[in-house]
Structure 1
Amino acid sequence: MKRLFLVLVVVLFTSISWARNISIGLDSPFFDNSTHTNTIYYVGKKPLMLIFFYPECTPCEKSVPILNDLYKTYKDKIYIIGISLSRDRYEIGDFIRDNHPLYPIYRISDKDDLRNVGGILATPTVVIIDKNGKIVSKLMGKHGCSLLKKEINKIIRRGDG
């Protein structure tokens, strides 16, 4: 019985700390390293949608128009940020030039930070975090606008948006 109680306490504290420590270091996609931020700065203001991608991923490129539509519709209610898993500035620059994302794009600073969102197994992966810092949705692969709108509207209706 004591062992079960101890396991439950550890799981509870782990999930509470995990919900509040979604920290992913982000760098500018361009040649200067003067722009550095962290996802932790966005938590507490509005919900956050993180789009993890590789610049040369075809489904990632095809997702940009959908994400641009979402950005235009929801930019006042939710932060939408693209995070390149590639550190190659030329690849990212080509992705931005060719696909014209309206939402901000960053490079991940340290891939070890991906543990904070449970890892990324495929791209694109969309992670939606409520304004309290809790991951409420994680979608892998290319998804249509209607599914992403449904997830965003769900978090807005809950009062987290």
Structure 2
Amino acid sequence: MSQKKKRRLYIRTAILIILLAAVGYTLYANLNKDNQGKLSVGDKAPDFQLTDMQGNTHRLSDYKGKGVFLNFWGTYCPPCKSEMPYMDDVYKTYKNKGVEILAVNVGEANFIVNKFVKQYKLSFPILMDKDRDVQSVYGVDNLPHSVLIGPDGKVKKVIIGNENLTKNDFKGFMESIKP
């Protein structure tokens, strides 16, 4: 066998091994993705740092001792639009009772989010997750996605994409995480 043919054989073999490794890793990652980033009741909520619409920095750890209703949302999400007025109504009552709402917008421009906030007259902090890092850490796939965090920093409940929530549901959520 000539040197050229041997070299070609080695290169083709190396490329084949690299491709097989990539396919194997992809299969492994996809089979295990359901277990990555998913929070369960009783887990410690991961700390994060995000900036709100006014440029203020918020860390989950800043709210230690308070209940936190952490809501991931988008302006394009119909259930998000329907639940925002309920969230704002209960926030006005519960913010003085030790419960905070942190609404995390995932990946949208400030202009679009600001227009939405003005339209719905929202009074709770709107945090911007432009790079979707917090969304990833919390394992959020579908919107809306809410995580109820107790004063101890542990997850009390996870609510994913429900279109039928009422104002009373939100009151119940706030009561369940009130200190």
Give the TM-score range, shorter chain: 0.7 to 0.9
8 A Cα contact 1:50 1:82, kept in partner:
yes
8 A Cα contact 1:24 1:109, kept in partner:
no
Pair 1:36–1:109, CA change in 2 (3 A): farther
CA displacement at 1:110 relative to structure 2: 4.3
| Corresponding residue to 1:28 among 52, 69, 85 | 52
- The RMSD of aligned alpha carbons is 2.3
Alignment of 1:71-110 (within 5 A): 71-77=91-97, 78-108=99-129, 110=131
8 A Cα contact 2:106 2:135, kept in partner:
no
CA displacement at 1:53 relative to structure 2: 0.4
Alignment-mate amino acid for residue 129 of structure 1: I
Larger Rg over CA atoms: 2
Alignment-mate amino acid for residue 64 of structure 1: M
Alignment of 1:61-140 (within 5 A): 61-77=81-97, 78-108=99-129, 110-117=131-138, 119-140=139-160
Q: Which residue of 2 aligns with 1:39?
A: 60
| Structure 1 CA distance for aligned equivalents of residues 175 and 94 of structure 2 | 9
Cα-to-partner distance string for 1:81-117 (whole Å, 9 max, x where unaligned):
2110124111111111211112111102542333443
8 A Cα contact 1:86 1:92, kept in partner:
no
Structure 1's unaligned 5+ residue stretches are 1-14
CA displacement at 1:128 relative to structure 2: 0.8
Q: Which residue of 2 aligns with 1:8?
A: none
Cα-to-partner distance string for 1:11-44 (whole Å, 9 max, x where unaligned):
xxxx9xx51x5212211335xxx532222211x2
Q: Which residue of 2 aligns with 1:12?
A: none
| Structure 2 CA distance for aligned equivalents of residues 146 and 35 of structure 1 | 31
Pair 1:68–1:125, CA change in 2 (3 A): same
8 A Cα contact 1:81 1:105, kept in partner:
yes
Higher alpha-carbon deviation: 95-104 or 141-150? 141-150
Alignment-mate amino acid for residue 22 of structure 1: P
Instruction: Provide the identity percentage.
Output: 24
8 A Cα contact 2:107 2:131, kept in partner:
no
Residue 151 of structure 1 pairs with residue 168 of structure 2: no
| Structure 2 CA distance for aligned equivalents of residues 50 and 131 of structure 1 | 13
SS at 1:75 equivalent: helix
Q: How many residues are paired up?
A: 136
- What is the TM-score when the length of structure 2 is the normalising length? 0.67
8 A Cα contact 1:22 1:40, kept in partner:
no
- What is the TM-score when the length of structure 1 is the normalising length? 0.73
